[in-house]
A and B are shown apart, each in its own frame.
Chain A
C-alpha cells in the first residue's frame, strides 16, 4: 500500500490535496512547454517547404512585370500567421463552445478584410494567359517589339489531356494488376513464393533510367516504340513492385475469417476475393492509386525518349519548356503554369491523405 513515489519528491502517504494540485499544475505546464517546443521545432523545419510553395502561389497570382518579387509573399504570410495565432489564442481562451465560434468567425472576418486591403490590389489572373492563348510565349516576350514565332507551344489543354491519359491509364492498369498479385502472394503458398517476395525488393534495385537504351530497343522489337501504350506499360511495370508491396501489407491486415465465411457459404476463391476481400482494402487501393497517378503525372524522361514521331506533349514537358523559354522574362507565367500543373496532384493527395497514413508493410503489428 505504501507507494514511495519518490521521483516526484512527494511522499504520497502524507500528500495533501494541495500537493496533488501542485503536481497536476507542474505536469500541465510541462506538457504545455513540450507542446510549444514541438510546435516550434516542426514549424522551423517545415518552413523550407511551406515558403517556396506559398511563394509559387503568390507569384502566380500577383506578379506584374514578371519579376519574382516577395512582397506579396511576406504580406500574406504575415496575415496568415497572425490569423493562425489568433485562432489558437481564441481556442485556448474561450470558455464555451459558442464563445470560440464567435471568436473564430470574428478573426476570420478581420483576417479576410486585412488580406483584401493589403494584398488584394496586387492579385490578378493575367499570368494565366497560357490557358487561353497557345502563343503566349510570343506575347510575353513582345515587350518592346513584336516577337514572331517564339517556341510554338501546343495548347496547354492538350498537354493536360495527354498527361491525364497517361497517368490515368497507368493507374487503372496498376490497380488491376497489383491487387491481384498481392492477394495471391498474401494468401497462397506455392513453391516460388519466397523467391517472388524477395524479387519484389530486388526489382526495386533496378536502375531504370540507365536501362533506357535496352528498353528502347526492346520496345522497338515488339512494335511498341513511338506509341503511348508503350510508355504507359513501361510506367506500369516500374510502379508494380512498390504497389504490390503496399497492397500485400493491406491484404495481410485483413482477417482470414471473412474469407472463410464466404468460402463456407459456397463462394469460389475468386468470388471471395472480389466481393469480400477487395472492399476491405479500399484504403490500400486509394493509396497506390494516388502514388501511381502522381508518378505518371510527373513523367517526362520516358515520354521524351520513347515517343519519336508522336511526340505527345505532356504537362511535365510543357512545364519544362515553358520554364526554359519564358522564365527569365516572366516568372509570373511560369509560376502560373506551375500552379496549374500542381493542382491535380494536390487535390488527389489531399483527398487521399488519410489513407496514405495507413500504409504498413508486412502486416506485422507491434
Chain B
C-alpha cells in the first residue's frame, strides 16, 4: 500500500509536469512520455522487496533514459494482492487475465509461468533478454531453467532459495546423541549415508528421551517443501521427453509411506496440517520439536528477529543446524528443493521493451542483494557473492552449497493443481484416513479426473 501511495504522488507530479509540458510541447526534447506499468505482486512478509526492487529499477531506468536523451519515462504502479499463497494468487491472476484486465508486469511462482504461457498471457522474453546482456547475462543458467517453457524463456528469475530440515542440536544432545554424531549429520546426509528412515529414528529418540512434544514438523499448507521427500523417493512428476505430468504409483506410495511411518512412530503429529503455522514455527524455535522441514528464508524472516536465534554463525551452529533432504535408501542421492520466484511480462503490455528494461534494472546485483540479505533468499548472480553484505550473511553462503544438489518443480502448467492434490493426500495420510498405497491411488484418481494428459505408471 505504501508503494501505491508513492505511485499516486508520482502520478500527480507527472500529471502536473505533463500538463505544463504539453504547452511547451513544441520542443521534442522537453516532451515527456510516461509509460505506466502496473505491477501485480502478492503481499508476502518474506518478500516485500520483490515489488520494491521493480520500483527502484524504474527510477534507475528513468535516469538512464534521461541520460540517453529519450523523453520516455517508466512509472511503476504496484498492485498488492491479498491472496494467501502463490497458488491462490496465480489463480486470481489467471482470472484477471481471462477478463482482459491483466497487469503489465507480474510476480509469480515459477511453476505457474507455463500456465500463463499456454493461454498466451505471458510474453516471450528471449529476444528482449538478448538485447540486454549487461543485466541478464550473468544470471545463473540453472535459474533460467525454472523460467523456461517448451518454446522459450518467459520470466526473469527474481530469487532462489533452498529447503531443508532444520534441526535443534540442543535437543539431540539431551536425547543422548554426542557432538560428533550431531555435527556429522549434514555431511552424512550429503553422502547418502543418512536416510529418510534414520531421520525418523533420530526424531523418535528425541521424542522418547526429551520433553519435546514433536519430532518432525512441516508447514500446514501446500507450500511444496514436502516435494523434497517425494523427490527423494524418486518422483520427478514430469516425463522427460514430453514434459507431461508423470505419476508413478509405487514411488508415490513409498513417499506417502514415509509420512505414514512418521505419524505411526509418533514423530510427525497427526494434526500437523491442521495446526496453526505460527504455532508450528514457535514449537520448533522454542525447542519443542527436533526437526522443521522448511526453507532458508525463515531464518531472516522469523528465526532471527522474532525468536532471537543467534545471528553469529558460530553461535548459531552450536545449537542449530540443517541437513538436506536425505536419500530414501543408503547410498542414494540427497536433495533439496529450490522454488524460484520470477518476474514476468504480460503479452499485451503497453511497452514490452520498456518493461523488460525495468526488470533488468530491478535485477541489479545490489538490489537483489538487498532482497536476499533482508529475507535470507539466495541471489541470482554470481557477482553478488562479492558483495560484503552477502558474504556477511552466512546463511546464504552455507545454503548455496545445497544449490549443487537442488531440484526444481516441473514447469508444467498443471503442476500447481497436482500439488494441491498431493497436499490433500498428504493430509489424508497423516490423519490416518489413507494408507500410503491408498494415497497414491487417490492422487492418481484425482489427477486423472481433473487434469489433462497425465501419464500414469
Which residues of A come within 8 Å of B, CB atoms?
137, 141-154, 216, 220, 225-226, 304, 308-309, 311, 313, 317, 321, 324-325, 327-329
A148 near B48: Cβ-Cβ < 8 Å: yes
A311 near B306: Cβ-Cβ < 8 Å: no
Given contacts A149-B48, A328-B276, A328-B282, are A311 and B82 in contact (CB under 8 A)? yes
Given contacts A142-B306, A145-B304, are A150 and B281 in contact (CB under 8 A)? no
In the assembled complex, the CB of B326 is this many whole angstroms from the nearest CB of chain A, namely: 28
Give the residues in chain A near B302, CB-CB below 8 Å: 141
Give the residues in chain A near B84, CB-CB below 8 Å: 324
A304 near B49: Cβ-Cβ < 8 Å: no
Give the residues in chain B near A324, CB-CB below 8 Å: 84, 277
A145 near B308: Cβ-Cβ < 8 Å: yes
Given contacts A142-B305, A311-B81, are A148 and B101 in contact (CB under 8 A)? no
A226 near B306: Cβ-Cβ < 8 Å: no
Give the residue name and chain of the B residue nearest to A142 (CB).
Answer: B305
Interface size, B (range):
20 to 34
Q: How far is the CA of A338 from the CA of B36 in the complex (A)?
A: 39
In the assembled complex, the CB of A131 is this many whole angstroms from the nearest CB of chain B, namely: 17
A309 near B304: Cβ-Cβ < 8 Å: no
The reply on B44 being an interface residue by CB < 8 A is yes
Give the residues in chain A near B48, CB-CB below 8 Å: 148-150, 152
Q: How far is the CA of A327 from the CA of B45 in the complex (A)?
A: 14
A144 near B82: Cβ-Cβ < 8 Å: no
B306 near A143: Cβ-Cβ < 8 Å: yes
B306 near A152: Cβ-Cβ < 8 Å: no
B44 near A151: Cβ-Cβ < 8 Å: yes
Q: A-facing mask of B33-56, CB < 8 A → 1, else 0?
A: 000000000011100110010000
Q: How far is the CA of A306 from the CA of B77 in the complex (A)?
A: 21
In the assembled complex, the CB of A251 is this many whole angstroms from the nearest CB of chain B, namely: 42
In the assembled complex, the CB of B87 is this many whole angstroms from the nearest CB of chain A, namely: 15
Q: How far is the CA of A216 from the CA of B99 in the complex (A)?
A: 10
When A and B form their complex, which 6 residue pairs have the shortest distance between CB atoms, in order from nearest?
A328-B278, A149-B48, A144-B308, A145-B305, A147-B305, A141-B306
Give the residue name and chain of the B residue nearest to A149 (CB).
Answer: B48
**Among B1, B277, B309, contact of A154 (Cβ-Cβ < 8 Å):** B1
Q: How far is the CA of A321 from the CA of B99 in the complex (A)?
A: 27
Give the residues in chain A near B96, CB-CB below 8 Å: 308
The reply on B374 being an interface residue by CB < 8 A is yes
Give the residues in chain B near A311, CB-CB below 8 Å: 79-82
Given contacts A144-B306, A308-B96, are A327 and B276 in contact (CB under 8 A)? yes
Give the residue name and chain of the A residue nearest to B280 (CB).
Answer: A328
Give the residues in chain A near B43, CB-CB below 8 Å: 151-152, 321
16 pairs across A/B with beta carbons < 8 Å? A141-B306, A143-B308, A145-B304, A145-B305, A146-B305, A148-B48, A151-B45, A152-B2, A220-B99, A308-B101, A309-B79, A311-B82, A321-B43, A328-B279, A329-B278, A329-B306
Give the residue name and chain of the A residue nearest to B275 (CB).
Answer: A328
Give the residues in chain B near A304, CB-CB below 8 Å: 82
The reply on B433 being an interface residue by CB < 8 A is no
Give the residues in chain A near B81, CB-CB below 8 Å: 311
Give the residues in chain B near A220, CB-CB below 8 Å: 99
Q: How far is the CA of A226 from the CA of B99 in the complex (A)?
A: 11
Give the residue name and chain of the B residue nearest to A303 (CB).
Answer: B82
Q: How far is the CA of A343 from the CA of B52 in the complex (A)?
A: 36
Q: A-facing mask of B351-384, CB < 8 A → 1, else 0?
A: 0000000000000000000000010000000000
B305 near A141: Cβ-Cβ < 8 Å: yes
Give the residue name and chain of the B residue nearest to A325 (CB).
Answer: B45
Beyond the given A143-B308, A147-B301, A216-B95, please list 18 additional residue pairs across the A-B interface where CB-CB is below 8 A: A144-B304, A144-B308, A145-B308, A146-B305, A148-B374, A149-B48, A152-B43, A153-B1, A220-B99, A308-B96, A308-B101, A309-B79, A311-B79, A311-B81, A311-B82, A324-B84, A328-B278, A328-B282
